[in-house]
């Protein structure tokens, strides 16, 4: 049985990744944690038996917003272009609208170039 991620307070998002010899994959990611240990703890506490923690510190920032609601509203514009944006809380009530989650800066920069080709301004950040 597939867990109900939203019920557990998680917002899944999809990231396209090139695993070299293993091929190109679409990954479903859940959340973003300060460190690997925190991610493992969340997996344990939420009883996510079939989930694997991966370190993906780089993403593309689509914009900073004064609230999570504003960021979520802006996400629909990017989703309409076939992207899978997600919201990450920032300081105070502010929120960041991000796309992608990559283990290396080079992979995030590749996505940034693709976004630019679509007319979307983005900046690579460490999340």
The 10s digit of each residue's pLDDT in 45-98 is 988 888 889 889 999 999 999 999 999 999 999 999 999 999 988 889 999 999
Can you give the CATH number for the domain in which 44 is found?
Answer: 3.30.70.1070
87 neighbors 22 (Cβ within 8 angstroms): no
What is the span of the domain harbouring residue 36?
12-126
Residue given tokens 């990611």 in the structure block? 29
The answer to whether residue 1 sits within a structural domain is no
Q: Please state the domain count of the chain.
A: 1
The answer to whether residue 4 sits within a structural domain is no
Sign (positive or negative) of CA dihedral 80, 24, 124, 33: positive
Confidence band of 3 (pLDDT split at 50, 70, 90): low
- Report how far apart, in Å, the C-alpha atoms of 39 and of each of 74, 77, 123 are: 27, 30, 25
The answer to whether residue 18 sits within a structural domain is yes
The answer to whether residue 3 sits within a structural domain is no
Extract the tokens encoding 36: 């690997």
The answer to whether residue 5 sits within a structural domain is no
The answer to whether residue 7 sits within a structural domain is no
pTM of the model: 0.83
């Amino acid at each position: 049985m597939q867990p109900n991620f939203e019920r557990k307070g998680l917002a899944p998002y999809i990231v396209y990744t090139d695993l070299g010899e293993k091929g190109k994959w679409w990954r479903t990611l859940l959340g973003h944690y300060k460190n690997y240990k925190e991610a493992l703890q969340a997996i344990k506490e939420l009883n996510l038996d079939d989930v694997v923690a991966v370190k993906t510190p780089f993403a593309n920032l689509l914009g900073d917003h004064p609230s999570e609601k504003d960021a979520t509203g802006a996400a629909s514009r990017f989703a309409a272009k076939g992207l899978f944006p997600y919201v990450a809380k920032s300081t105070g009530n502010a929120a960041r609208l991000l796309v992608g989650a990559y283990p290396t800066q080079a992979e995030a920069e590749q996505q940034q170039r693709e976004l630019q080709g679509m007319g979307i301004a983005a900046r690579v950040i460490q999340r």
